[in-house]
Amino acid sequence: MIRRQLGRLWRTTRRYKNRLGPRVVILLYHRITELPLDPWLISVSPCHFAEHLEILQQYNRPVRLQQVSEALRQKELPDRSVVITFDDGYADNLYNAKLLLERYDVPATFFLTTGNMRCEGEFWWDELERLLLHPGSLPDVLDLSIDGITHRWKLGEAAHYSEEAFRRYRCWRAWEDGPSLRHSLYSQLWELLHTLPGGERRRVMNDILRWAEAEPAVRPTHRPLSLEEAIALSQGELVEIGAHTVTHPVLSTLPVALQRDEIQRGKAKLEQMLGWQVTSFAYPHGSTSAETPAIVQEAKFACACSTTADTVTKASDPFRLPRVVAPNCDGRTFAKWLSGWLLR
Ligand SMILES: [Zn+2]
């Protein structure tokens, strides 16, 4: 009887301790800017980001990703700590994010994709948005050969997209049903393209550019970081540069050899550029196959971040660190949202 009561007490205590065990939140941002169109909701306004940093400084403990990775190895997590990370490598990371991080003295890790650093073009998902979701006219029929399969789309009335329709659908999100054939086409092409290897994806994007009779262009608002800007971003005590592959593939869809190539070449390019070792990695789209974490470990990374929405606990795997996407909201809402994660 006593034994059963003790067992229950122990289980309750363990649950209680587990609930209050140290938690770390790794925040995931992409862009600090304001855009007229943001179908993936990847931008946080500079004003909101400043408020987030103010909250972190006042009520939490902003720490570096490497501190968490090291603490996990020692099985000692710093409680109520928060890590800031950025994915992809947009120019606004340097001009908007870094400025604010310095103002509030908060560290951050920036995971950079190296394939777009020569200013040759926008990230492919931005290019697709530029071609399809802005006012103007497109040819009626699009024929594309992707992965050996021929696809045909007929736009009909949606071949013309008016200023008025653009304004009406400005708040459309890419995971919602498309309100017009243009939006449906965008979603279908995104689905088909995001799992292609980088070279094949570029070929299809060139076919789409030709069909749209558009020139390759880089909007100042959607510019990836150049090599020089990436170096400027890395300067100072607050910024760590991490790797995010070369072409931002869905790693789980690639054979092991191609995964290794993307992971190692991305790291080597950054190290050559910076002149020091790059030891943090983030999986593009959060995607991994059973082999990916081991490939990342072999490439001499110390930790890797996923996009699984959760907090880091002592039980977390340093090569599958969960992250939560930071919302574009004011400081008050952010504080409430963040404490929801820290007290789970
Ligand atoms: Zn990414």
220-230 pLDDT, tens per residue? Answer: 999 999 999 99
Predicted confidence (pLDDT) at residue 41 exceeds the cutoff of 70: yes
Residue 88's identity, in one-letter code, is D
Give ∠ CA 233-249-134 in degrees, rounded to 5: 80
Task: Quote the pLDDT of residue 38.
Answer: 96
pLDDT for res 119: 66
| β partners of residue 240 | 109
Q: How many residues does the chain have?
A: 344
Over residues 260-273, the mean pLDDT reads 97
263 Cα to the center of ligand 1, angstroms: 13
Q: Which residue has the tokens 């040819």?
A: 139
Predicted local distance difference test score (pLDDT) of residue 18: 55
- Which of 11-20, 100-109, 111-120 has maximum average pLDDT? 100-109
pLDDT, tens digit, for every residue of 69-93?
A: 999 998 888 888 999 999 999 999 9
Distances in whole angstroms, Cα of residue 127 to Cα of each of 165, 197, 217, 324: 20, 17, 8, 26
Cα of 51 to ligand 1 centre, how many Å? 24
pLDDT digits (tens, 9 = 90+) for 113-163: 999 887 678 999 999 999 999 999 999 999 999 988 999 999 999 999 999
- Tell me the CA–centroid distance for residue 1 and ligand 1, in Å: 56
Q: Is the pLDDT of residue 9 over 90?
A: no
Distance 57 CA to ligand 1 centre (A): 27
Sign of CA dihedral 291, 294, 298, 303: positive
* Spacing of C-alpha 189 from chain mean position: 20
7 C-alpha to ligand 1 centroid (Å): 46
Between β-strands 239-243 and 24-29, what pairing exists: parallel, antiparallel or unpaired? unpaired
Task: Specify the 3-state DSSP secondary structure of 308.
Answer: coil
Answer yes or no: is pLDDT of 1 > 70. Answer: no
What per-residue confidence (pLDDT) applies to 79?
Answer: 83
| pLDDT-above-70 percentage for the chain | 94
Distance from the alpha carbon of residue 221 to the mean position of ligand 1, in angstroms = 18
Distance from the alpha carbon of residue 3 to the mean position of ligand 1, in angstroms? 52
Q: How far is the CA of 88 from the centre of ligand 1 (A)?
A: 5
Q: How confident is the model at residue 303 (pLDDT cuts 50, 70, 90)?
A: very high
Q: Which tokens belong to 117?
A: 């650093």
Q: How large is the average pLDDT for residues 87-106?
A: 98
Q: At what angle do helices 124-132 and 181-194 cross, to 10 degrees?
A: 160
Q: Residue 322 corresponds to which tokens in the numbers above?
A: 């969960």
Kindly indicate the confidence band of residue 5, based on its pLDDT and cuts at 50, 70 and 90.
very low
d(CA 297, CA 317): 12
What's the 10 CA to ligand 1 centre distance in angstroms? 43
Lowest mean pLDDT among 14-18, 142-146, 312-316: 14-18
| pLDDT per position as a tens digit, 218-255 | 999 999 999 999 999 999 999 999 999 999 999 999 99
CA of 307 from ligand 1 middle (Å) equals: 10
Question: How far does residue 87's CA lie from ligand 1's centre (Å)?
Answer: 5
Q: Would you state the structure tokens that stand for residue 234, as one six-digit string?
A: 């890395």
Q: How far apart are CA 139 and CA 157, in angstroms?
A: 11
**Mean pLDDT value across the chain:** 92
Instruction: Give me ligand 1 centre to Cα 137, in Å.
Output: 30
- For residues 46 and 129, give the distance between their C-alpha atoms in angstroms, rounded to a whole number: 22
pLDDT at 54: 97
Per-residue pLDDT, 344: 75
What's the gap in Å between 140 CA and the centre of ligand 1?
A: 32
Separation of CA 83 and ligand 1 centre (Å):
17
Band (pLDDT 50/70/90 cuts) for residue 19 is: low
Q: What is the average pLDDT across 160-188? A: 94
